[in-house]
Amino acid sequence: MLSVNAGELIAARKEGRAVGAFTTYNMETTIALCRAAEAAGSPAVLQLGASAFRHVDLGVLTRLVVDVAAASGASLGVHLDHCRDLAEIQACLDLGCSSVMIDGSHLPFEENVELTRAAVSAGHKAGVWVEGELGAIPGEEDRSVSARPEALFTDPAQAAQFVERTGVDALAVQIGNVHGFSADGGRLDLDLLADIAARVPVPLVLHGASGIEDDVLRAAIHRGVAKINVNAELRRACFGALDETLAPAREDGYHLQRVLNVMRDSVAAAAEDRIRLFAGLPRGGQET
Ligand SMILES: [Zn+2]
């Protein structure tokens, strides 16, 4: 069911937990993420990367993900990630997305405020929550390339002003996080995060959480992060499983369904582990 609304994120921040948000690309990864949330008994957000629409028709992918998530018994959200285009946001709202992100982080502050305000207005009109970003997060969503955070960390005072002026429901911050795997294991500036959280009342979002140590992620959640985006880590788990499957599946009469099932199951397992970590649930028999 599509029930991850703004209240769910506010509750998560208050309760010291975070909702995992994962990029989905096709039917297998969509089913995988629903199963992961069902198995963990905890909410999750399925994310449509605006970049995916270069490869798959927006309507086809969005309808698929909305339909599969709505039919699941788990509490889920379908979220448009890193969108820079108001027309694309409206298209996804019309197709039933339960939240959207407007990314004006590449723009000068005033232009980011203006673009984000327009997206918030469209989102709230459709009854959904809107995520904005202040401080650019380097790297690419869909490919892990070497990227370094350079200078554009989120300024706490500016963040408070940004949230107040835009009415945004959640704020993506740049505190040392990068998209893809970070070369240094993902050092986060937790003091900066605490400072931002002290001034910004809305739930904070951490992008690029792949490869960051579990204890650091727990500390970030403790300081106000209520949504954590993970993508590269799931892709890596999927590739690892596929490496072991392709040869036997080829010998097994080019058994494509076997490959697709492995894609689904490997993503489900990796996502469930992250959902449990972020929710403070036991993982693999261990208390967190
Ligand atoms: Zn991101």
Rounded to the nearest angstrom, the distance between the alpha carbon of 280 and the centre of ligand 1 is: 23
Lowest mean per-residue pLDDT among 6-15, 41-50, 247-256, 279-288: 279-288
8 A C-beta contact, residue 1 and residue 218: no
Cα 229 to ligand 1 centre (Å) = 7
> What is the whole-number distance in angstroms between the Cα of residue 72 and the centre of ligand 1?
25
- Rounded Cα distance between 288 and 278, Å, is 10
Least confident span in 54-63, 138-147, 194-203, 223-232: 138-147
Q: DSSP letters along 48-60, please? A: EEGGGGGTS-HHH
Cross-strand pairs, 81: 49
Catalytic residue among 57, 67, 81, 142: 81
- The two counts, helices (H) then strands (E), for the chain are 10, 8
Ligand 1 centroid–CA 35 distance in Å is: 23
CA of 139 to the centre of ligand 1 (A): 9
> In this structure, what are the phi and psi dihedrals at residue 23, rounded to the nearest 5 degrees?
-70, 135
| Catalytic (active site) residue 191 | no
The string of DSSP codes covering 241-258 is HHHHHHHHHHHTTS-HHH
The pLDDT of residue 183: 62
For residue 2, the CA-to-ligand 1 centroid distance in Å is: 21
Residue bearing tokens 């996080």: 177
78 in Cβ contact with 89 (< 8 Å): no
CATH 3.20.20.70 fits 6-232, yes or no: yes
Token pair for 57:
């028709």
Tens digit of pLDDT for each residue in 192-212? 999 999 999 999 999 988 889
Q: Are 203 and 12 in contact (CB under 8 A)?
A: yes
The domain spans of the chain are 6-232
Residue matched to tokens 């609304």? 5
